[in-house]
Amino acid sequence: MSEILVVIELREGRISRISLEAVAAARALLKLVAASVDGVAKTVSAIVTEQIGGPLGEQLGSIGVDKVFVLSHPLLNHYTADGYKLALEQLIQAEQPAYVLFPHTYQVRDYAPALAARFGQVLIGDVVAIGEGPVFTRQLMQGRLSGNYRHSGSGPCFVSVQAGAFRAEAPREGTTTILSFEPEIAAEAIRTRPSAPFRGSSQTVDLGSAQLIVSIGRGIKDAENIPIVQELATALGAELAASRPICDAGWLPMDRQVGSSGQTVSPKLYLAIGISGAIQHLVGIKGSQCIVAINKDPDAPIFEAADYGIVGDLFEVVPALTAAVKAAKS
């Protein structure tokens, strides 16, 4: 019970950024629990599921973990919930950690709740902060409120951390022991057959490199109202984008969607119009240099992330803004 395990995901052979953030969260948690309860957790160990070597081996040596467990089994070469549940269940049984941390990715969301249930535990998912206690903070009501959660009981505590909530630390010197762990997985235990990932229909709009983006959300109310905002985008010379519900409704094509399931953007200006700011949207715009929000609801979470805000009816503000932009440019 003296260990914090962190599950690491790889991307193109490197440790993904959010996994490094999960390691940083584990170190922050270690400081909190080591100070309050003697001997609850002393070390941070990482788990990866792929054979390591070359640059990955070096990278794992520099992220500040004491041990790295490499889960090796041919049935883990492709992700399946069944395979990951079995492998991690066995490692957790063997290690008896105090905490298991995950990056909050689509993959983790697919298996970690069931893995925790196998231990009679509940994943505290999508955590944005860890405080004294430890208390784990996550968003409620689409980001309009925050909830502080505590874990009780004797089993390991399972936690996943939101992208961007913890700052990945710079590589450090240190010694890391790399251990191989070979779980027992029977072929018939894997019940699902996933295909290789494929891209959605023609990704023609590259919002990732756009410098100016005007983006619309549910506040636009109807597809018929989109030209009002299009006119502003044209006046600014900006790309038009949208939050998920607009693309779900078919009002704009899917390739104009910004957020965790769409594109990640980092423009000089992100102008969010009638977007409330659910976390799935905010993670996609975090890299923006300046965020401006126009929304009728002063409590909309988009205002937490915005540099400038206008509280008002977009059907009045946007035409006024278009006129002002045109006047400034002429």
Partner 1 sequence: MNQSLFIMKIIVAIKQVPDRDAQIRIDSAAKWIEESNLQYALNESDAYALEEALQLKERHGGEVIVVSAGPERIGQTIREALAKGADRAIQIDCDDLADRDALGVARLLSAAIRPENPDLILTGLQSEDLGLGQTGVIVAELLGLPHATLILHVEKTETGLTVKRELEEGWFQTIDLPTPAVLTIQSGGNKLRYATLMGIKRAKTKEVRRVTGAELFPPSQSAVPVVTLVQVTLPQKQKSTQILSGSAKEAAAALVEKLKFEVRVL
Selected from 6, 48, 70, 123, the binder of partner 1 by CB under 8 A is: 123
Footprint on residues 139-168 left by partner 1 (CB under 8 A): 139-153, 155
Three-class DSSP labels, 292-319: EEEECCCCCCHHHHCCEEEECCHHHHHH
Between residues 172 and 193, which has the closer beta carbon with respect to partner 1?
A: 193
Q: What DSSP character marks residue 127?
A: E
Stretch that binds partner 1, among 64-72, 167-175, 221-229, 242-250 (CB under 8 A): 242-250
Examine residue 114 and tell whether it contacts partner 1 (CB under 8 A). yes
Rounded CA-CA distance 35/50 in Å is 34
Between residues 65 and 300, which has the closer beta carbon with respect to partner 1?
A: 300
Examine residue 110 and tell whether it contacts partner 1 (CB under 8 A). yes
Q: Is 137 helix (H, G, I), strand (E, B) or coil?
A: strand
Examine residue 7 and tell whether it contacts partner 1 (CB under 8 A). no
Q: What DSSP character marks residue 258?
A: B
Selected from 70, 109, 187, 214, the binder of partner 1 by CB under 8 A is: 109
Q: CB 32 → partner 1: shortest distance, Å? A: 16
CA 244 to each of CA 106, 113, 250, 263, 298: distance values in angstroms, whole numbers, following the listed order: 16, 25, 10, 11, 21
Footprint on residues 49-108 left by partner 1 (CB under 8 A): 81-82, 105-106
Closest CA to 79 of 198, 193, 199: 193
Helix or strand (DSSP H, E) at 251: none
Rounded CA-CA distance 219/223 in Å is 11
Report phi then psi at 191, rounded to 5. Answer: -95, -15
Q: CB 14 → partner 1: shortest distance, Å? A: 16
Selected from 8, 41, 214, 292, the binder of partner 1 by CB under 8 A is: 292
Examine residue 250 and tell whether it contacts partner 1 (CB under 8 A). yes
Number of amino acids touching partner 1 (CB under 8 A): 98
Selected from 15, 254, 265, 273, the binder of partner 1 by CB under 8 A is: 254
Selected from 37, 211, 221, 227, the binder of partner 1 by CB under 8 A is: 211
Q: CB 74 → partner 1: shortest distance, Å? A: 19
**Contact at 8 Å (CB) between 205 and 239?**
yes
